[in-house]
Amino acid sequence: MQFRPLGRTHELIPVVGLGTWGIGGEMGPDSSRDEAGIEALRLGLDLEMKFIDTAEMYGAGHTEEVVARVLEGRSDRVFVASKVSPRHFAYDDVLAAAERSLKRLGLKQMDLYQLHWPSSKIPIAETMRAMEKLVKDGLTRHIGVSNFSVEQMREAQQSLSHEKIVSNQVEYSLIDRSVEPRILQYCQKEGLTLIAYSPLGQGKIPRGRGSSFRVLDEIAGKLGKSRNQVALNWVLQHDSVVAIPKAADTDHVKENAEVNDWKLDSEEHQRISNAFS
Which amino acids are annotated catalytic?
Answer: 58
Alpha-carbon torsion (72, 258, 245, 177), positive or negative: positive
Alpha-carbon torsion (67, 69, 72, 76), positive or negative: negative
d(CA 53, CA 83): 8
Question: Quick check: 148 and 178 in contact, CB under 8 A?
Answer: no
DSSP 23-74: TTBSSSB--TTHHHHHHHHHHHHHTT--EEE--TTGGGGHHHHHHHHHHTT-
Counting other chains too, the contacts that 216-223 makes at CB distance below 8 Å and 24 or more residues apart are 216/174, 216/272, 216/275, 219/264, 219/268, 219/271, 219/272, 223/262, 223/268
Per-residue DSSP letter, 231: H
Question: Quick check: 14 and 49 in contact, CB under 8 A?
Answer: yes
d(CA 151, CA 154): 5
Q: In what order do the strands lie in the sheet with 140-146?
A: 18-19, 51-53, 79-84, 110-115, 140-146, 165-171, 193-197, 241-243
Task: Count how many Cα atoms sit within 13 Å of the Cα of residue 192 in the half-sphere of its side chain.
Answer: 27
d(CA 197, CA 229): 15
